[in-house]
Amino acid sequence: MTAKATFGAGCFWGTEATFRQIPGVAGTASGYEGGTKPNPTYEEVCGHATGHAEVVEIDFDPEEVGYNTLLDVFWNNHDPTTLNRQGPDVGTQYRSVIFYHDEEQKELAERSRQIMEQSGRFKRPIVTQIVPASTFYVAEDYHQQYLEKRGLASCHI
């Protein structure tokens, strides 16, 4: 039996590639969540009119990988202190966000954010949103496993 986790950590290409490498992750999908327009296109999301974030929805086996491990990967693979920006990518679609699927995920996400804030690791405040999961819209096919299709491991700068 699998569970779902959804994270927005900037461009979904690198985020998806990172999570696909974790043992216990059964599948990933790049997509859009947190906006107001049903079935948004990439162009609409990039046009800042829909309110969606680029996210990766993860199907994982909780017997093989815990949600806390996924949270660790999330925190360690982007800058949670930059509002609506990751590296050269700027816009609300690149915001740092955790969409939780149940109360346990909410509690674990909030606790992990608190631990990160108190760790002293970041010089600026963490701006990551922790919000209930809403409708996830799968991105266009060419966005799925984008880096893998091009023989790339990551798009980190």
What is the rounded CA–CA span in Å between residue 106 and residue 109?
A: 5
Q: Which residues are identified as catalytic?
A: 11
What is the rounded CA–CA span in Å between residue 152 and residue 39?
A: 28
What is the rounded CA–CA span in Å between residue 130 and residue 58?
A: 16
* Residue 43 CA: distances (Å) to CA of 46, 90, 93: 5, 15, 11
